[in-house]
Chain A
Amino acid sequence: MTTIADPKAPRPPKPRPARLTTRGNTELYGWVFMRASGVVLLVLIFGHLFVNLVAGEGVTAIDFGFVAGKWASPFWQVWDLLMLWLAMIHGTNGVRTIINDYAERDGVRLALKSALYLAFVLVVVLGTLVIFTFDPCPSGSPADLLPSFCTA
């Protein structure tokens, strides 16, 4: 007579993950940041799009003089700096989430996230340097390409 296992017999314990919970609340803070920065970005980006694409001559007016005219004012420097940092952190965290969801192999995930973080650092550093070291009236440039206040 064969013995049949008791259906209520305890199952062999599953191997436990090395850590039962993540350390700290990083993912929670990320979740809150996406919502808080999203609201601020809505205002910053809608304002950016209105001033650059709708007001005045719209997209046809964009040239060096237009950008220099804006960045001569600390108001637009701070606006664009905030937009750069918030949008890059928001976007990088969003793409990180998507990589975690779809890249199943550890190596692929590591490679994609390394490229993502490298792009983040390069773009944020470059953009920040450009906003702060920008000269609206570079010497030796033809005056018709520069904003009107350069010759005043």
Chain B
Amino acid sequence: MPDALPASATRKVPAGTLYRGREGMWSWVAHRVTGVAIFFFLLVHVLDTSLVRISPEAYNDVIATYKNPIMGLGEAGLVAAIVFHAYNGIRIILVDFWSKGPKYQRVMLWVVMGLFVVTMAGFLPRHLMHVFGGE
């Protein structure tokens, strides 16, 4: 009976979990991480917005607890996650449907990062001024 397979062939966890590494894998990891984070925010966001159905006071009381610098930074992180997920999602669509998409997937990730920086440069100063009380 060939029942003595080497341990390496029967372990459940593969020796390396890096797949191919580099831009292709890390953008895939980031897409999953940002997607899950946005999803859990969305569940909470629908629940807190639903307080408008209870009373103006109930909604305003909960929203008031959000108006502090820690939540303001959390909102900035949420927007960053959404912006990356959105632009990288367009990149995924181009890889799937554009005939040259797979060839340029790595270049397109750097375009995604560039557009991400530009978008956040437009959003962050204004949002942080609102949060930290500037004009």
Contacts and interface: CB of A to CB of B under 8 A. Distances in A.
Nearest to B72: A59
B55 A88 contact: no
B6 interface: no
Nearest to A62: B63
A126 interface: yes
A59 B86 contact: no
A95 B36 contact: yes
Nearest to A141: B56
B130 A91 contact: no
Interface in B17-68: 32, 35-36, 38-39, 42-43, 46-47, 49-50, 52-53, 55-57, 59-60, 63, 67
Contacts of B46: 84, 123, 126-127
Interface stretch (A11-19, A22-30, A34-42): A34-42
Interface residues of A, number: 42
Contacts of B67: 59-60
A106 interface: no
A91 B39 contact: yes
A133 B53 contact: yes
- Interface SS majority for chain A: helix
B93 interface: yes
A63 B60 contact: yes
Given A58-B127, A130-B50, A53 B79 contact: yes
A53 B80 CA distance: 13
A134 B53 contact: yes
Contact of B59 (A46, A64, A88, A92): A64
A130 B58 CA distance: 14
Contacts of A65: 56
B79 to A, nearest CB: 6
Interface of B: 12, 32, 35-36, 38-39, 42-43, 46-47, 49-50, 52-53, 55-57, 59-60, 63, 67, 72, 75, 79, 82, 86, 89-90, 92-93, 96-97, 123, 126-127, 130-131
10 contacts: A38-B90, A42-B90, A45-B86, A58-B127, A59-B72, A59-B131, A64-B59, A67-B59, A68-B56, A127-B46
